[in-house]
Amino acid sequence: MSAIANRPPGCEPAIEFRNVSYQLNGGQELLNDVSFTVARGETLVLLGRSGAGKTTALKLINRLLEPTEGEVLVDGRSTMAWDPITLRRHIGYVIQEIGLFPHFTVEKNISLVPRLEHWAEDRTRARAKELLEMVGLDAAKFASRYPHELSGGQRQRVGVARALAADPSILLMDEPFGALDPLTRGEVQREFQALERRLKKTVVIVTHHVSESLTLGTRIGLMEAGKLAGIYSPKEFLESTEPVTAAYVAHLRMHEGVEGGE
């Protein structure tokens, strides 16, 4: 505790997990004593197989779930001390199914959080336009369309734009590119990478794609059965001789860059 208190204000990590466990009501443990920090501006990828607890960890950050034990700190404050609505509006959130509102136009989808925050009408409109251009969509063409009129890749871009709308300092992404075909995924990944370099947000991405985690992550947190097996830089990850990482690297070598064949 004292080490934390001694940090100068504003320099605390963006996100910190302290001995966090999460159990379902039935007692099944989805997350078991997990601790890590995410520094400001870095992109942490949580990598692991299905059921490893990646999504659970992500949802603990914006308090869609609450820890059974331990605490999650966002900007130095326990999520339980935050008002959940304020916390969530302060954090962008993108999920695999995207969850665009089918009855809203693209523009209305993107400007949801600004409208909830009562931004002025012209500022909201300008922001929506700016965001569309930022994710590479022509605002004049797409603003008034409905989600069902978009392709998968376009929907994904709108999802990212929506998450960035109120300029949150933290962005959470759950399998954000998972539903896209390999070519589109590569494209959207590269765009996102460029965007991320420009915006310098703190990003946490959940994925089961090894190559995606190596491309996008500044660090990779490997999760296994509710525990954090280790945190590596992409280079460390590739060079690691631990059996857990070795299995992933072997898989990657086998598929030689055309990862995502499953």
Partner 1 sequence: MSLLEFFLRHQREILQATVEHIWLVGVTMVLSVAIGVPLGVLVTRRPWLSKPILGGANIAETIPSLALFGFLLPVPWLGGRADRLAIAALTLYALLPIIRNTSAGISGVDAAVREAARGMGMTEEQILFQVELPLSLSTVLAGVRVATVLTIGIATIAAAVGAGGLGEFIFRGLAMVNNQLILAGAIPAALLALGADFLLSVLERRLRPAR
Residues found near partner 1 in the complex (CB under 8 A)? 62, 64, 84-90, 93, 95, 97-103, 112-113, 116, 146, 148, 162-163, 172
In what order do the strands lie in the sheet containing 77-78? Answer: 29-38, 15-23, 69-74, 77-78
**3-state class of 91 per DSSP?**
strand
Minimum Å gap between C-beta 1 and partner 1 is 29
Closest CB to partner 1 among 112 and 222? 112
β partners of residue 17: 36, 72
How many Å from the N-terminal Cα to the C-terminal Cα in the chain? 44
For 61, what's the count of Cα atoms within 13 Å in the CB-facing half-sphere? 32
Residues in the chain: 262
Closest CB to partner 1 among 69 and 101? 101
Minimum Å gap between C-beta 24 and partner 1 is 17
In contact, 27 and 1? CB cutoff 8 Å:
no
CB-based contacts of 103, cutoff 8 Å, min separation 6: 146
Closest CB to partner 1 among 101 and 141? 101
Longest CA pairwise span in the chain (Å): 55
Angle at 196 between CA 20 and CA 82, to 5 degrees: 35
Closest CB to partner 1 among 119 and 215? 119
Angle at 124 between CA 119 and CA 129, to 5 degrees: 165
In contact, 216 and 45? CB cutoff 8 Å:
yes
Minimum Å gap between C-beta 4 and partner 1 is 26
Closest CB to partner 1 among 154 and 245? 154
Minimum Å gap between C-beta 119 and partner 1 is 14
Minimum Å gap between C-beta 88 and partner 1 is 3
Minimum Å gap between C-beta 63 and partner 1 is 10
> In terms of DSSP bridges, do strands 202-207 and 43-47 run parallel, antiparallel, or are they unpaired?
parallel
Closest CB to partner 1 among 146 and 229? 146
Minimum Å gap between C-beta 197 and partner 1 is 24
In contact, 39 and 75? CB cutoff 8 Å:
no
Helix (H) or strand (E) holding 113: helix 112-116
Closest CB to partner 1 among 113 and 220? 113
